[in-house]
């Protein structure tokens, strides 16, 4: 049985990953760490991911063999404070890789579509291609990919990663990302509030519904190591759409839904450099990646879950 530590467990992915992993491995085998402990969760602990000694003590004490490092300052927030973004994103990763080296842990850290910049091919962006990110978030992601690969090659650390697109979910809101609009719009639409969209109407980006993202994490981490050629980060995607495509789908289901565009220059600039659609064939071949949720099914489910939650 695995003994898992999720660092950054209170975030958008961590909140749902905790439940997903506990269903498979048992409550006591999934320790959830974040800046604040959750008093109603007996397996939740307080941890500052920047504190290497505290992380090492926890890994030792709980006999952890698998670490999910989900700590990140996302793309738009990163542009407001590049030094802080570098410190947090790289600090948390290096601490996770070092402790994994010390205790022989497997370690997952998400990369992102943000690892690509405007020089990368826009359509069917290949797994291995020119990257040249132009945001501090993207620079951290490419560096993180290289560091994960380095720790694997040099020290044998079983480091694995995917390049996540925008993740759409309904349990915990994202914050500070460029793709956040694709989550926030559902909250406005279900509550009957007008949505102000910060992304240009025709700007396409890759997206994925949370159940597929959780399967991607679990399937990659349990995949046969011998099959994995790309240790740095696998392209994964489930759908690619622009605001105008998504809003039309929402309007088909909620005809009173209203929106307008007030494009945010930072988010415009970030998203204009990202791929329109990724090629995720390597993930499909090397660990059988196969997303189940398309755009229509995702929109139906988001609206139905949020109606129960918010109304």
The residues in 104-163 that bind ligand AKB, with binding defined as CB under 6 A, are: 112-114, 137
Tell me how far, at minimum, the Cβ of 137 lies from ligand AKB, in Å: 6
Distance CA 276, CA 260 (A): 22
Give the residue with the Cβ less far from ligand AKB, 44 or 235. 235
Closest contact distance (angstroms) between CB of 210 and ligand AKB is: 12
Residue closer to ligand AKB, measured from CB, 47 or 70: 70
The least distance separating ligand AKB from the CB of residue 233, rounded to whole angstroms, comes to 11
Question: CB-wise, 64 or 144, nearer to ligand AKB?
Answer: 144
Instruction: Give residue 208's region: left, alpha or beta (phi > 0; psi -120 to 50).
Output: beta
Least spacing, CB of residue 198 vs ligand AKB, in Å? 11
- What's the closest the beta carbon of residue 164 comes to ligand AKB, in angstroms? 6
Q: Which residue is nearest to ligand AKB (CB)?
A: 177
Is 137 an active-site residue?
A: yes
**CA–CA distance, 290 with 287 (Å, rounded to integer):** 9
Rounded CA-CA distance 177/45 in Å is: 26
- Strand ranges across the sheet with 4-7: 44-46, 30-34, 4-7, 66-69, 106-108, 158-160
Opening angle at CA 239, ends 236 and 244, nearest 5 = 140
- With a CB cutoff of 8 Å and minimum separation 6, the contacts of 53 are none
Minimum CB distance to ligand AKB smaller for 90 or for 254: 90
The answer to whether residue 85 forms part of the interface with ligand AKB (CB under 6 A) is no
Question: What is the per-residue binding string for ligand AKB in 164-203, x denoting contact by CB under 6 A?
Answer: xxx----------xxx------------------------
CB closer to ligand AKB, 66 vs 179 = 179
Residues 137, 151, 152, 181: which is the catalytic one? 137
The answer to whether 75 contacts ligand AKB (rule: CB under 6 A) is yes
| Half-sphere exposure at residue 133, Cβ-oriented, CA atoms within 13 angstroms | 21
Straight-line distance from the first to the last Cα atom of the chain, in angstroms, rounded to the nearest whole number: 40
Tell me the H-state helices in 168-280: 181-191, 210-221, 243-253, 265-272
Instruction: Give the count of residues interacting with ligand AKB (CB under 6 A).
Output: 12
Q: What are phi and psi for residue 160, nearest 5 degrees?
A: -135, 155
Under the rule (CB under 6 A), what is the footprint of ligand AKB? 74-75, 112-114, 137, 164-166, 177-179
Known catalytic residues? 137
């Amino acid at each position: 049985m695995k003994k898992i530590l999720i660092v950054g467990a209170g975030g958008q992915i961590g909140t749902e990953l905790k439940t997903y992993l506990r269903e498979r491995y048992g409550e006591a085998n999934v320790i959830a760490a974040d800046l604040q402990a959750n008093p109603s969760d007996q397996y939740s602990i307080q941890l500052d991911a920047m504190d290497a000694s505290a992380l090492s003590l926890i890994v030792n004490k709980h006999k952890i063999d698998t670490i999910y490092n989900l700590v990140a300052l996302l793309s738009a927030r990163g542009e407001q404070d590049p030094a802080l973004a570098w410190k947090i994103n790289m600090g948390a990763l290096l601490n996770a890789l070092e402790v994994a080296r010390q205790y022989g842990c497997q370690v997952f850290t998400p990369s992102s579509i943000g690892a690509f910049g405007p020089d990368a091919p826009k359509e069917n962006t290949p797994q291995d291609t020119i990257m040249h990110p132009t945001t501090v978030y993207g620079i951290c992601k490419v560096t993180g990919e290289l560091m994960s690969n380095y720790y694997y090659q040099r020290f044998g650390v079983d480091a694995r990663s995917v390049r996540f697109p925008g993740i759409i979910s309904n349990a915990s809101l994202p914050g500070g990302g460029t793709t956040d609009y694709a989550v926030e719009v559902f909250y406005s639409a279900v509550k009957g509030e007008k949505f102000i969209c910060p992304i240009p109407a025709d700007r396409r980006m890759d997206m994925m519904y949370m159940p597929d993202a959780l399967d991607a994490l679990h399937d990659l981490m349990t995949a046969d190591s011998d099959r994995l050629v790309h240790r740095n980060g696998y392209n994964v995607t489930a759908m690619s759409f622009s605001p105008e495509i998504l809003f039309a789908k929402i309007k088909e289901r909620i005809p009173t839904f209203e929106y307008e565009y007030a494009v945010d220059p930072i988010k415009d600039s970030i998203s204009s450099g990202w791929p329109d659609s990724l090629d995720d064939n390597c993930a499909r071949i090397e660990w059988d990646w196969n997303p189940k949720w398309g755009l229509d099914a995702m929109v139906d489910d988001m609206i139905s879950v949020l109606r129960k939650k918010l109304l």
